[in-house]
Amino acid sequence: MSVFLGYIFLGLSLAAPIGPVNAAQLDRGIKSGFLHAWLVGLGATIADAIYMLLVFVGVVQFIEVPIIQTFLWIFGFFVLVYTGIESISGAGRISTDSRNGTYDSKMKSFFSGFFMSLFNPLTILFWLGIFGSILAKTVTTYGTSQLIIYCAAIFIGITVWDLTMAALASSMRKFLMDRLLTVISIISGFSLIGFGVYFGIQALLILI
């Protein structure tokens, strides 16, 4: 049981650091409510599951190719900067009356989280690097039969954090003033752009 809880904590540790997905969840939660914020997190979780599957089939060497890394950094740059600009441009449309409506479609919320996580090299670093070594140790220590259970524990931790963030974001929009919600949305947008610029710089460093 202690090992199972440890893997849940690992999932929480993966999802908790403030990054593009958390910033996007806050933004969508403020604008469109709990469901949209949760869908952003769900999209990111599906991307995490894809990378976990890739670790199982062994594609670590493929991701280590410089041109692949460059592509991931560049694509992440465009996704984050686009989402950040969209967040800032839509900040002025937040009002008390619009809080009961929806700002974006559900599919758009889902895929924004999905692509942010899918093309986030930091996510890739975790799953193909750190998780790869954890996977090897788990198979050696506990055997293959326990592996699926511990992988499920990781996703339990991720899901708990996503639900927490979605609840926090949707609660904020109910109690905060419109002007403050707009400011938070703008800050969130600039945060996403900042992460995108960082990704772009990393791509340039590889090219240079």
Overall domain count for the chain:
1
pLDDT in tens, 174-195: 666 566 667 767 777 787 788 7
Tell me the per-residue pLDDT of 34-49, one tens digit each, with 9 for 90 and over: 888 899 989 988 988 8
For residue 104, the Cα-to-chain-centroid distance in whole angstroms is 18
- C-alpha distance from residue 129 to each of 6, 63, 95, 124 (Å): 19, 10, 44, 8
Q: Give this prediction's pTM.
A: 0.67
How large is the average pLDDT for residues 17-45? 82
Answer whether residue 26 shows pLDDT above 70.
yes
Residue 130 pLDDT > 80, yes or no? no
Structure tokens at 70: 């460059």
Between 36 and 145, the higher pLDDT residue: 36
Please give, one letter per residue, the 3-state secondary structure of 39-64. Answer: HHHHHHHHHHHHHHHHHHHCCHHHHC
116 Cβ contact list (under 8 Å, min separation 6) = 20, 21, 24, 43, 44, 47, 76, 79, 80, 83
- Mean pLDDT across the stretch 152-172? 84
Quote the domain boundaries for residue 111.
2-207
